[in-house]
Amino acid sequence: MGSRATKLSGDEVGTLVDAFNDMLAEIDRRTGELEASNARLGREIEERSRAEQEILRLNAELEKRVSERTSQLETANRELEAFSYSVSHDLRAPLRSIDGFGQALVEDFPEHLPEAARGYLDRIRTATSRMGQLIEGLLNLARVSRRPLERRPVDLSQIARQVVSDLQQREPQRTLEVSLWDGMGAEGDPQLLQVVLENLIGNAWKFTAKTAKPRVEIGALKDRGRTTFFVRDNGAGFDMTYADKLFGAFQRLHAVSDYAGTGIGLATVQRIVHRHGGRIWAEAEIGKGAVFYFTLAFDGEPAASVPRVAERADG
């Protein structure tokens, strides 16, 4: 601190001494504040240094965990490929044999087989056929996870139109009204997105089979720059209580006797959508239909502002 001057008189010199002493006091105050500020700054620098060291440690730990998880994922993928190979070669052959011998019995011994035996053989062949479909579904699910993901512009309207056309050719007797938005653009893997639409439109087609005036709508909505695609139908619908089971493999909300299927299609769809950085969900009501929504992380120019093209599939 600065030394104070001694005031010896009350004249102008004394006034100057008072001013000088006040200035020294102010300097001492400011010096104290500066020292306190420097001390706080030193503590902040020390704390920031400790925080930076902690961040570096956490980053190193995260990189180690990512490396370990990547290694685990690669191992799991190799195991999945081995499993797929085993399923494809080791399970299909016995099924083909069972089905083939069942058919041979029916064809080679038509007069020696009792009616009950024919019924049993038909049930055996039906079961092997369904098992084959389940195996094929599992293989498709595995392929979706393994194959490299392309990223390029995709015209979902064109894909949807082709899917509808294929369904019409397979079931020309069906009368179904199809409302399809034109200009639905997206960015992603064309083959995988086709699988998405084949499953969603195929489900809408299937679950409107018992509806008096079946209708399917395929479109897109835009909200704050985000595009949500949807497939809507007025078919059987389902109970939303069980909506969490929709996208699990082998999960079914309808009996096979009512609507055929393996229960793997929606699991495949969800995996593809997730690989595109999007999400999928559904809304439905029993007897009033269902609508499936999905988003993609890389979506193109949406169709919300593009005129809708209504098509009628009259078989």
Question: Mean pLDDT across the chain, nearest whole number?
Answer: 79
Termini Cα distance of the chain: 101
CB atoms within 10 A of CB 226: 12
Sequence letter at residue 226: R
Rounded-to-integer distance, Cα 235 and Cα 253, Å: 14
Alpha-carbon distance values, 40 to 1, 29, 63, 90, 258 (Å): 21, 17, 34, 72, 75
Q: Name the residue among 218, 175, 194 with its Cα closest to residue 276.
A: 194
Cα gap 221→83, rounded to integer Å: 40
Is residue 248 within 8 A of residue 268, CB to CB? The reply is no
Per-residue confidence (pLDDT) for residue 259, from 0 to 100: 47
What is the C-alpha separation between 58 and 52, in angstroms, rounded? 10
pLDDT 10s digits, 283-307: 988 888 899 999 998 544 433 333 3
CA dist 237 and 258 (Å) reads 13
Residue type at position 282: A
pLDDT in tens, 145-163: 667 788 889 999 999 999 9
Query: Is the confidence at residue 258, as pLDDT, over 50?
Result: no
Pairing of strands 176-181, 308-313: antiparallel
| E strand residue ranges, the chain | 152-155, 176-181, 185-188, 215-223, 226-233, 280-285, 289-294, 308-313
Q: What is the mean pLDDT of residues 15-31?
A: 77
The verdict on pTM exceeding 0.85 is no
Identity of the amino acid at 137: G
Q: Which of 15-19, 38-42, 192-196, 270-274 bottoms out in mean pLDDT, i.e. has the lowest?
A: 15-19
Cα(68)–Cα(91) distance, integer angstroms: 33
Return the higher-pLDDT residue of 238 and 217. 217
Paired tokens of 17: 């001494």
